[in-house]
């Protein structure tokens, strides 16, 4: 996106910038500090102080933005991993249950084992699991 930098007493401080919104904040901040330098820093000492203040403010903003971006990326990655793990577990459980149901139905329908024998076997399995 192309945007104008901030204005200072009706005059543009800076030039057009083509940046992402995150970097645009930094560019606008630099424009504001540049305006302060123009207004306050008439002598060399004032200009040096304003330049030092500009560097400190810009560095603090960059560190804060970097921390925010890193936290957001970590949260998004963790959420995606958790969702993928949950989906895989649900799919595995559904597949296993469907396979067991299909096997039981096939055995009962084929007549190899009656439903009563299957129920008795299920009781035995439950007792073994306990």
Cα–Cα dist 26/124, whole Å: 71
Between 26 and 2, name the one with better pLDDT. 26
Task: Check residue 67 and give its pLDDT.
Answer: 94
Bridge partners (DSSP) listed for residue 8: 11
What confidence category does residue 87 fall into, taking pLDDT thresholds of 50, 70 and 90? Answer: very high
Which token pair is 38? 């123009």
Give the contacts of 19 (CB within 8 A, at least 6 positions apart). 1, 26, 27
Which token pair is 32? 């504001």
**2 closest CA partner among 29, 26, 28, 20:** 20
* Count of structural domains within the chain: 1
Q: What is the pLDDT of residues 104-130, one digit of tens each?
A: 888 878 777 777 887 888 888 888 877
Averaged pLDDT of the chain: 73
pLDDT average, residue stretch 38-53: 57
Percentage of residues in the chain with pLDDT exceeding 70? 62
**2 closest CA partner among 13, 14, 16, 12:** 16
**Backbone angles phi and psi of 42, in degrees to 5:** -75, -40
Which token pair is 124? 């035995």
Q: State which residues form the domain around 58.
A: 2-129
Between 63 and 104, name the one with better pLDDT. 63
List own/partner pairs for 48-51 with CB under 8 A and 24 or more apart: none
Which token pair is 115? 């439903």
> Which of 17-26, 68-77, 103-112 is predicted most confidently?
68-77
């Amino acid at each position: 996106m192309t945007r104008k930098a901030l204005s200072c007493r009706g005059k543009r401080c800076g030039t057009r910038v083509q940046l992402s919104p995150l970097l645009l904040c930094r560019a606008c901040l630099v424009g504001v500090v540049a305006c302060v330098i123009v207004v306050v820093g008439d002598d060399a000492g004032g200009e040096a102080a304003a330049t030092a203040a500009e560097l400190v403010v810009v560095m603090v903003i960059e560190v804060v933005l970097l921390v925010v971006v890193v936290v957001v990326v970590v949260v998004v990655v963790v959420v995606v991993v958790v969702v993928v793990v949950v989906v895989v577990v649900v799919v595995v459980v559904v597949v296993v249950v469907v396979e067991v149901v299909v096997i039981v139905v096939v055995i009962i329908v084929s007549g190899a084992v009656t439903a009563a024998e299957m129920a008795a076997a299920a009781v035995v399995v439950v007792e073994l699991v306990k």
